[in-house]
Amino acid sequence: RPHPVPLVETHADLGHQAGQVLVDNWRDTHTVPSDTLYPHQWSWDSAFVAFGLRHICPRRAQVELETLFDAQWADGRVPHIVFDPRVDADAYFPGPKFWQSSGAPGAPTVETSGLIQPPVHAPAAWAVHRADPEESTRRGFLERLYPRLAAWHRYLATDRDLGGRGLAAIVHPWESGMDNSPAWDLPLSRVEPLPGHSFVRRDLHHAAPADRPTDADYGRYLKLATRYRDHGYRDADTPHEFAVEDPCTNALLVAAELAMARIAEEIGADPTPHHDTAARIAGALVRLLFDPAMGAFVPRDALTGERIASVTVGGVIPLIVPGLPEEITEAVVDTLCGPWFRLTDAHMVPSYRLTAPDYSPRRYWRGPAWYNTAWLVREGLLTHGYDNLAQALRASMLETAASGGFREYVDPWNGRGRGSGRFSWTASLVLDLLR
Ligand code: 9WN
C-alpha cells in the first residue's frame, strides 16, 4: 500500500521555492527542463513551464513560447529540442551533431532535433495571455503566435496523418514525451537496434541507470532517428518503421484546437475552423482509440492498423477532451480509481498500470508518477465535473512536491522522488496549482 509523504513545508514556502527553481533554470530566452540532465529547450516542457511562469512573470512566459516558435520549421513542425549554442554540444546526447538539422530542408538556422512533442502550446499561449491581457495585447503576443500555432497544428493534422484516419501519428517514442512507455514495446520490437558501442549516452552521468531507459531502448531510438534524419526528416519520403496514433497526443491536439478557437475570437479571426478540426479529431479519437473492454484509450499502430492493447497514463489523459460520451468519461474515471491507477490512494497517477507484470516503480515512463501527466489528468477531471477527485489529486501533487525537491518523477507507492531534481515543469505546475 502507498505510504503517506510527510508535508514538511507550508504552501507559501513551496510557492517561493518553486519560483526559485524557475528563476534558476531560466537562460535569457527560455527555461531548461533541468540544469543537469536537459541543458537545452524542450518543446512540451516549455509549454508546461509557461503555465506556471505566467503567475510570476507573464512577460517571461510569453518569451518562453516565442523562443520555441522561432525555431519552427517551414513545414510547421515545432522541434522537440532547440539547442542552445552556448552549451557544449556534447552535454546532451543525442545533440546537434547527431540531428544535423541545419542541413535539412525547411529547418531554422538554430540547431534543433527533427522530432516533435505533444501539442500543449496553444492552451499554454491562451493561459499566458489571460495572466496579463494588457501586456500580451501591447506586445501583440497572440497575433504573432496565432499563425505559427495554426501552422503547427496543420502539420500534425495533415503531414502526420500517416494512417489516413484523421489522427496524427508519432514516428518516434521521444515524440510522445513518454519515451520508454510500455505502449511502444510492440511496435518498437520490430526495430533492429543500433549496437550499444555505436553511441555514448550522457544521461547516465546525471541519473541512476535503473531510473532511465535501457541501452537496447536507446539503440532503437537512434536507429529510428537516423533513418528519419537520412531522409531529410521528410514524412512523405521516410519509410517509417514506427508510426503510432497516440491517444494522448491526439487528445491534446483537440484541446489545443479548442484553445485556438478562443485565441481566434480574441484577435478577431474566425474560430469555426478550429471547432471543426477539434470535433473531427475528437470523433476519430473516440471511434478508433477508445477500448471499452479496457475502459481507456489505447494507441493504434498506423503501419498495421492494429490497436495496441496497452493501457498507460496516456490512455486516461483524453479525459481532457470536453463533451466525451458520458459512458466513456465514466469508464475512464473508473479505470483511474480502480486497481490499475488507484487515484486518491497512490501518489499522483502512475505512468503505467500498477498491476502489470512488467510495471516498474522507478524506470522512467514504465511506472513512476509524473507531474505533467498528473496535472493533465486533473484538468480532465475538472473538465467533466469530478471536482473532488481533482482536489485530491492536487493535494497529492503538492504533498509529494513539498517532500521531494521538485523531482522529475516519483514512486507512486511511497512518493519518493526520482530522476532529476529541481525539475522545471514540476516547479511550474506546482506554482499553477497554488494559484
Ligand atoms: C528525450 C525533457 C524531456 C521530456 C520528456 C522526457 C525526457 C528526453 C530524454 O526529457 O525525454 O526527449 O532524454 O529522456 O521523457 O517527456 O520532455 O524534460
Check pLDDT > 60 for residue 165. Answer: yes
| 191 located within any domain | yes
Give start and end residues of each alpha helix (H) in 326-415: 326-337, 371-383, 387-404
pLDDT value at position 4? 52
pLDDT value at position 3? 54
Confidence grade of residue 7 (pLDDT, cut at 50, 70, 90): very low
Query: Would you say the CB of residue 177 lies under 6 angstroms from ligand 1?
Result: yes
CATH code, domain with 394? 1.50.10.10
Q: Which atom belonging to ligand 1 lies closest to the Cα atom of 44?
A: 17
pLDDT value at position 286? 98
Query: Would you say the CB of residue 45 lies under 6 angstroms from ligand 1?
Result: yes
| 1 located within any domain | no
Q: What is the pLDDT of residues 81-137, one digit of tens each?
A: 999 999 999 999 999 999 999 999 999 999 999 999 999 999 999 999 999 999 999
- List the domain range (segments joined by +) for residue 400: 11-434
pLDDT value at position 263? 99
pLDDT value at position 206? 85
Domain total for the chain? 1
| 221 located within any domain | yes
Q: What is the pLDDT of residues 363-376, one digit of tens each?
A: 999 999 999 999 99
To the query of whether residue 326 is one of the catalytic residues in this protein, the response is no
Mutational test site, ligand 1, from 98, 112, 174, max ligand atoms within 8 Å of CB = 174
Computed over every residue of the chain, the mean pLDDT equals: 95
| 2 located within any domain | no
Q: What is the pLDDT of residues 63-91, one digit of tens each?
A: 999 999 999 999 999 999 999 999 999 99
pLDDT value at position 208? 87
Q: Are 201 and 218 in contact (CB under 8 A)?
A: yes
Cell readout for 388 is 473532488
> Mean per-residue pLDDT for 229-250?
97
> Which residues share a beta bridge with 262?
none
Residue 151, class by beta-carbon neighbours within 10 Å (0-12 exposed, 13-18 middle, 19+ buried)?
middle
| 34 located within any domain | yes
> Mean per-residue pLDDT for 403-425?
93
| 6 located within any domain | no
Check: complex ipTM more than 0.90: yes
> Mean per-residue pLDDT for 175-179?
98
3-state helix, strand, coil in the chain (%, to 5): 50, 5, 45
Q: Which atom belonging to ligand 1 lies closest to the Cα atom of 115?
A: 12
| 3 located within any domain | no
Contacts 24+ apart (CB under 8 A), 97-102: 98/222, 98/225, 98/229, 99/225, 99/229, 100/229, 101/233
pLDDT value at position 232? 97
pLDDT value at position 418? 92
Distance (Å, whole) CA 305 – CA 302: 5
Task: Please report, for residues 15, 61, 79, 238, 395, the alpha-carbon distance to residue 72 in angstroms, rounded to integers and kept in the order given.
Answer: 32, 18, 7, 20, 37
Distance (Å, whole) CA 107 – CA 63: 21
Residue of minimum CA distance from atom 4 in ligand 1: 177
